[in-house]
Structure 1
Amino acid sequence: MVTHQYTAMLPGGFLFNVKPPVGLDSLQVVGPAGYLALRAREVDEVHLAVLISNLCGDYFCLPHKDACAYFKQPLCSTQTIAQLARSFSAKPLGIKRLITTMCYVANNAHSPMETVVQLALSLPKKLGGCGLPTPELNATIEVEPKLSYLLGGSKAIKPDGLWANHHLVYEYDSNQEHDENKNQIRKDRQRRDVMERLGYTVVTMDSTICKDEVRRNLIFERIANILGYSFDWSGQAQIRRRNLWARLMLTGMCW
């Protein structure tokens, strides 16, 4: 087995060339979008959505270490996947599933929980999601000069999730779990204050909320209502959401 390091931006096609080992004239490997095209026929929509989010984010789970590694930039994007999918003259089952599923996935997830929350909100109700429009993850909100003072001079904020047309933001607050991060907690509060001053509704969730099914559903209902969508409290809907959440929490094992 030979490990290859590729430091340039990955090409968007199905295959790309890498430096061949001794004895070979050339070597091609499957790119991230090509990998998804191959896996799409072998996995269901939820599994595929998690794979897409992982490859279109800038983190990589290390389950054996209970940690994440981070890339300078995502390995892929939904735009690249769409371009590859359109290049197939025929549309076999896996490609059709890939085209459908990627519409529910946002680019630029920065952590496993960003993947979990985003997919729980955006996947269709039949799969246990809330059926909401796909938000932008870590998108930039420009901050006017007088408010940048509250952010220590920063001129932009990047919330976890954003629906710009509705001036709605959500954030997963992992820092509340760590008392030693008091300075970071203060900065997070200032960020939320600035976003509210800019006219955004900010919905915050943390591990305590996410571990409690009722609290989690109440947060999802609030987001749905702001976006103008209904939220299903029926027993069957709650079972589907519970089962989906359990699967999404294993996102690091998706490979």
Structure 2
Amino acid sequence: MKRLYATDKTALELIRSGAMPRDYASVAFAPADMLDAASTARDIKQLVERSDAIARLTTPYMVLVPEHAHRRNSKLITCRALSASITEPYLVSIDEDCLCVTPELLFILYSQKHSLATSVQLGLELCGTYTLPAFSDNECFTTYDLPVLTTAKSIREFIARNPGIYGAKRAKRFARILRDGSASPMETVLFLLLCLPVSEGGYGLPLPEFNADLPVIQYLGSMHVPQIRYGDLVYRSARVVLEYQSSEHHTGSERQESDEDRRDDIEATGYTVMFITPSRIKDFDRFEAVVQRLARYLGVDFSRCEPGRNTSRLALRKLLLPESWTE
């Protein structure tokens, strides 16, 4: 009986749709061989009839096969073979007909074909507490407050243990930028805009923590609500917090009051809080003014960030931000 070994786009769809258990480590395994790997359109059609998880996926299906000689690419299926053997678990069972590469291996394979910005964007999602929609580009269908799927440390350690996989060297360089705990796509975007190298369109600022617990917990004592995480992007050594406000219109709203309470709580412990709204991000000059202020707090010479509308910076904004924000 043939089985589908999902990789690349197909693996990402399984992760984002929730088909992969987020405690995957307990069920992951590495088969001695993949001689039962589906590698033809006929194989796939039979599997689609049996597996609801596979039937939901978009074509072409991206699958692993044992060797390059087994590849039979068509409009329905694209096959790829790993360039090196992996002795540790790297597959997760979805159902009896389908397996999926682990997030750690997916990051390596994804990095082979994608840019630094796009690869780190995916890595931050894999290490975060949200997931983008599997079959839509509409961010409204993002799922939040999920258990952690993997960590930056796990990805880096997997790469270190498997240097023979094609693309591992590139993935290792990309993985240095990964951090745990991003709670939303826009937190990830802000991180990338601020911290990617200047040559990649970012401002090259130091890497912050995501959603870090701050001394406000001790300050508030019994008044602290354990579910609240303080600080979207936190520069602990500089005592600066960057908070993203998702709505442009807060007047009289419960969200505005919540944001103000959070700011007061944080500033009471000696941190500086900087709020950033969609309107500030949309406006290039206003956003760069925020970056300049942040750089000053961090003790970074802003001229080294090469401010201004250069080609790489505009390209990065076009890649990461909604089209309506970059017109």
TM-score over 0.5 for the pair: yes
**TM-score (ref. length: structure 2):** 0.66
Residues 245/83 of structure 1: CA separation in 2 closer, same or farther (3 Å cut)? same
- Once residues 229 and 144 of structure 2 are traced to their aligned partners in structure 1, the CA distance between those partners, rounded to angstroms, is 20
- Once residues 203 and 231 of structure 1 are traced to their aligned partners in structure 2, the CA distance between those partners, rounded to angstroms, is 17
How far did 1:154 drift?
Answer: 2.9
Describe the SS at the equivalent of 2:257. Answer: helix
Describe the SS at the equivalent of 1:177. Answer: coil
- Once residues 313 and 90 of structure 2 are traced to their aligned partners in structure 1, the CA distance between those partners, rounded to angstroms, is 37
How far did 1:64 drift?
Answer: 4.7
Partner of 1:81: 155
Contact 1:213 1:242 in 2 (8 A): no
Q: Is the aligned partner of 1:139 residue 2:212?
A: yes
Report runs of 4+ in structure 1 exceeding 6 Å deviation.
1-4
Partner of 1:72: 146
Q: Is the aligned partner of 1:16 residue 2:87?
A: no
Contact 2:292 2:302 in 1 (8 A): yes
- Once residues 200 and 162 of structure 1 are traced to their aligned partners in structure 2, the CA distance between those partners, rounded to angstroms, is 10
* Aligned pairs (5 A) from 1:115-194: 115-143=188-216, 147=220, 153-154=224-225, 157-179=229-251, 182-194=253-265
Contact 2:198 2:306 in 1 (8 A): no
Q: Which of 220, 224, 228 does residue 291 from structure 2 map onto? A: 220
Contact 1:148 1:154 in 2 (8 A): no
Deviations 1:161-207 (A, max 9, x none): 00111111101111443557x12211211111121111101111101
- Once residues 89 and 295 of structure 2 are traced to their aligned partners in structure 1, the CA distance between those partners, rounded to angstroms, is 37
- Once residues 101 and 237 of structure 1 are traced to their aligned partners in structure 2, the CA distance between those partners, rounded to angstroms, is 25
**TM-score (ref. length: structure 1):** 0.83
- Once residues 245 and 100 of structure 1 are traced to their aligned partners in structure 2, the CA distance between those partners, rounded to angstroms, is 22
- Once residues 169 and 243 of structure 1 are traced to their aligned partners in structure 2, the CA distance between those partners, rounded to angstroms, is 27
Counterpart residue identity of residue 255, structure 2: Q
Q: Unaligned 5+ residue runs, structure 1? A: none
Counterpart residue identity of residue 242, structure 1: L
- Once residues 122 and 105 of structure 1 are traced to their aligned partners in structure 2, the CA distance between those partners, rounded to angstroms, is 11
Residues 157/5 of structure 1: CA separation in 2 closer, same or farther (3 Å cut)? closer
Between structure 1 and structure 2, the one with the greater Rg is 2
Partner of 1:246: 318
- Once residues 72 and 116 of structure 1 are traced to their aligned partners in structure 2, the CA distance between those partners, rounded to angstroms, is 19
Residues 213/14 of structure 1: CA separation in 2 closer, same or farther (3 Å cut)? farther
Deviations 1:112-157 (A, max 9, x none): 11010011111111101111111110111132566458xx543664
Give the number of the structure whose residues are more often helix, by fraction.
1
Deviations 1:76-118 (A, max 9, x none): 21111101100124374x2122111122232211111101001
Partner of 1:49: 120
Contact 1:128 1:243 in 2 (8 A): yes
Contact 2:145 2:183 in 1 (8 A): no
Contact 1:136 1:162 in 2 (8 A): yes
Q: Relative contact order (C-alpha < 8 Å, sep 6+): which is higher? A: 1
Partner of 1:37: 108
Counterpart residue identity of residue 208, structure 1: S
Describe the SS at the equivalent of 1:18. Answer: strand
Counterpart residue identity of residue 273, structure 2: V
Deviations 1:202-230 (A, max 9, x none): 11110110010000001011111211112
